[in-house]
Amino acid sequence: MTEQKLDLDQIRAVIRIASESPDVAELEVESPTLKISVKKVSGGVRAVVSQHAGNPVAVHSPPAHPAPAAPAVPAASGDHLVPVTAPMVGTFFRAAKPDAPPFVSEGDMVETGQTVCIIEAMKLFNEIQSEVRGRIVRILVENASPVEYGQSLMLVDTTAP
């Protein structure tokens, strides 16, 4: 099976069309292997890139600098470690501003719906919220690093008191 590649500029173009068009509230673009859904929400634009089952898709953007090796994800002894995943391609930020404290740190308790980080895409800052209650056991991405759709950003232990 061949791997389909999608240029990051194509995704940005779809997001730009939706965000810059006052009459567009929602935009979907679909190919045989990929679907991009962009919706205007309060505070910005939310983009979701998904692949159709059985057809792997890689979002491709050549890095300006060599990317550091991804940290190893610890083996889960059960299904109590739940990843917080990137819902879009962009840049991961742990805090709202460079001089602000991070939203969460390893060891912090989080509640469902609590903002845990921000992903900047096309100069829009999207708050990413925890979908579960638990303790942050590992942050897997360095601050200000590029992330891909579906990439694990941090792990939450749902068995924490």
Query: Domain boundaries in the chain?
Result: 4-60, 81-157
pLDDT of residue 62: 34
Distance (Å, whole) CA 147 – CA 91: 6
Which residue type occupies 105?
Answer: S
Residue entry with tokens 């939706």: 18
Chain center to CA of 138: 16
pTM: 0.54
Topology at the third CATH level for domain 81-157 = OB fold (Dihydrolipoamide Acetyltransferase, E2P) (2.40.50)
Q: How confident is the model at residue 44 (pLDDT cuts 50, 70, 90)?
A: low
Q: 5: closest CA among 81, 64, 69, 58? A: 58
* Edge-to-edge strand list for the sheet holding 134-139: 81-85, 152-157, 134-139, 109-110
Nearest-angstrom CA–CA distance, 22 and 125: 19
What would the two tokens of residue 154 be? 């941090």
71 vs 154, which has greater pLDDT? 154
- Give dist(CA 15, CA 2) in Å, integer: 26
Using the predicted structure, report yes or no on whether residue 129 has a pLDDT greater than 50: yes
pLDDT at 66 over 70: no
Q: What is the mean pLDDT of residues 120-128?
A: 90
57 or 146: whose pLDDT is higher? 146
The segment with the largest mean pLDDT, out of 3-12, 74-83, 132-141, is 132-141
Percent of the chain with pLDDT over 90: 42
Among residues 85, 73, 104, the alpha carbon closest in space to that of 147 is found at 85
What is the pLDDT at residue 136?
A: 95
Which range among 36-45, 88-97, 130-139 shows the weakest confidence by mean pLDDT? 36-45
Is pLDDT at 80 greater than 70 in this prediction? yes
State pLDDT tens for residues 145-157: 999 988 999 999 9
Which residues are CB-contacts of 147 (< 8 A; sequence separation ≥ 6)?
86, 89, 90, 91, 92, 119, 141, 153
**Burial (CB count <10 Å: 0-12, 13-18, 19+), residue 104:** buried
